Amino acid sequence: MKDFCDKLFTAFEKQITDNIFCFIQNDKELMKDYLDLVAKQGNLGVVNSQIAQKIAQRYGMNNTGKESVPNSNLIQTYSELEKK
């Protein structure tokens, strides 16, 4: 069980940024807030980068430097994360 859970959590953690952006795009209220934030900031890339940084901080993770293709339509790529 431990090996399975370790494998599961490691795989999930690598994709946590993409998963959160998918969550945003599939939640009507969060999507509205996200679009309002992008409009206010005036820069999609900056907003997405700030969200990604907050994700890493919130979950105590480091950027691996490896980029992946996302499932979310809100981002073009994302950096995989790993536990500190």
- Which tens digits make up the pLDDT trace of 55-67? 999 999 999 999 9
Task: Name the domain count of the chain.
Answer: 1
Mean pLDDT of 70-82: 96
Q: Which residues pair with 62 in a beta bridge?
A: 82
Mean pLDDT of 33-41: 97
Three-class SS state of 4? helix
For residue 77, what are the domain limits?
2-83
- Per-position DSSP letters for 6-55, written without gaps between them: HHHHHHHHHTHHHHHHHHHHT-HHHHHHHHHHHHHHS-HHHHHHHHHHHH
Query: Residue 51 pLDDT > 90, yes or no?
Result: yes
For the chain, what is the mean pLDDT? 95
pLDDT computed for residue 20 by the predictor: 98
Query: Residue 71 pLDDT > 90, yes or no?
Result: yes
